[in-house]
């Protein structure tokens, strides 16, 4: 019972983290039809800039809670700067290329972003533990847990709610839905598709950076942290259905809980199981478990 509860909690907090990172990827794919490998770069940039800022603030004597402000600021900064630069300067020139060429271009971007990190932040790892220490721990299911990891659940719920609200309850959401269904018709009825693309990309990049920034206090931020998260978020997005936000939620939950069960019970299957499920979903239901309904065009 205790074990089940712990596995569930570990799984949920890992799933929340995966969801925050993956939802940006799925939004970008849904709207722009781009599978963005550079998403791992946004994640890494978010983690590095937050860790750097938190460390700096601690040295300057700012209180520990200020770290949360910095996490928000740095993810928005990264999303805005990198998102705008990359969309404006590179991606918009490639929209008429084959989708695999665009994937490859984002792979090139990912490599560039990786090394820019080394050039800007250096080669040593960063530890930004202050926010985690600040929140302390609480006993749940017989063991102590750090409150910080539990707040991931809240943040994920907040992100999910914000996405739902923005898409379903605002004018912007209606416009976005139109663009998702049919780009040409949207153009024809006077929607500024260009602007939709820019802001979608910035929003997606910000979410990727937020994932990295928020998780950074709980790990050592070191070169190469973006590599594994890309395939993991691909798995999440593919399992749930590329372009679907509820899909990303389901995908993240499945991957998170599977991984927690594996680590607790069958450690050697930790990585294997995630990709077996990904392959199985692709074989049985290629469009994913929660694919968005496709408008039929003739």
Residues between 151 and 210 that touch another protein (CB under 8 A): none
Residue 146 lies near another protein (rule: CB under 8 A): yes
Q: How many CA atoms lie within 13 A of 235 on its CB side?
A: 24
Q: Buried (b) or exposed (e) across 176-201, using 16+ Cβ within 10 A?
A: bebbbeebeebeeeebebeebbbbbb
Stretch that binds another protein, among 61-69, 183-191, 247-255, 259-267 (CB under 8 A): 259-267
**65 or 272, CB closer to another protein?**
272
Tell me the closest approach of the beta carbon of residue 270 to another protein, in angstroms: 6
Give the one residue of 69, 118, 162, 187 binding another protein; rule: CB under 8 A.
Answer: 118
The answer to whether residue 119 forms part of the interface with another protein (CB under 8 A) is yes
Asked if 279 touches another protein (CB under 8 A), the answer is yes
Residue 2 near residue 179, CB atoms below 8 Å = no
- The nearest distance, CB 173 to another protein, in angstroms, is 25
Report the C-alpha gap between 135 and 261 in whole angstroms: 27
* Residue (62 or 146) nearer to another protein, CB: 146
Tokens of 36: 């963005």
Region of 169-177, 191-199, 200-208, 214-222 interacting with another protein (CB under 8 A) = 214-222
Binding residues for another protein, rule CB under 8 A, total 81
Distances 235 to 37, 217, 264, 288 between C-alpha atoms, Å: 13, 24, 21, 10
Interaction of residue 1 with another protein, rule CB under 8 A:
no
31 binds another protein (CB under 8 A): no
């Amino acid at each position: 019972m205790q074990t089940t509860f712990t596995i569930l909690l570990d799984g949920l907090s890992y799933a929340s983290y995966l969801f925050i990172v993956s939802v940006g990827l799925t939004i970008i794919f849904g709207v722009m039809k781009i599978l963005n490998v550079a998403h791992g770069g946004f994640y890494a940039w978010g983690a590095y800039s937050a860790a750097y800022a938190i460390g700096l603030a601690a040295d300057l004597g700012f209180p520990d809670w200020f770290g949360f402000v910095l996490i928000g600021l740095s993810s928005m900064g990264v999303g805005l700067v990198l998102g705008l630069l990359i969309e404006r300067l590179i991606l918009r020139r490639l929209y008429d290329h084959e989708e695999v060429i665009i994937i490859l271009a984002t792979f090139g971007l990912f490599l560039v972003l990786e090394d820019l990190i080394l050039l800007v932040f250096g080669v040593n790892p960063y530890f930004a533990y202050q926010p985690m220490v600040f929140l302390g721990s609480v006993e749940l299911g017989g063991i102590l847990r750090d409150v910080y990891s539990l707040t991931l659940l809240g943040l994920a719920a907040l992100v999910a709610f914000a996405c739902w609200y923005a898409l379903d309850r605002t004018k912007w959401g209606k416009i976005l839905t139109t663009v998702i269904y049919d780009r040409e018709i949207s153009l024809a009825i006077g929607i500024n598709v260009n602007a939709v693309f820019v802001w979608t990309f910035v929003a997606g990049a910000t979410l990727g950076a937020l994932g990295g920034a928020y998780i950074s206090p709980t790990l050592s931020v070191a070169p190469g942290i973006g590599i594994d998260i890309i395939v993991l978020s691909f798995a999440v997005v593919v399992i749930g259905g590329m372009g679907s936000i509820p899909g990303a939620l389901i995908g993240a939950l499945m991957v998170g809980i599977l991984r927690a069960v594996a680590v607790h019970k069958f450690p050697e299957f930790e990585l294997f199981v995630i990709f077996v499920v990904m392959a199985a979903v692709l074989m049985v239901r290629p469009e994913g478990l929660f694919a968005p309904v496709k408008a039929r065009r003739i």
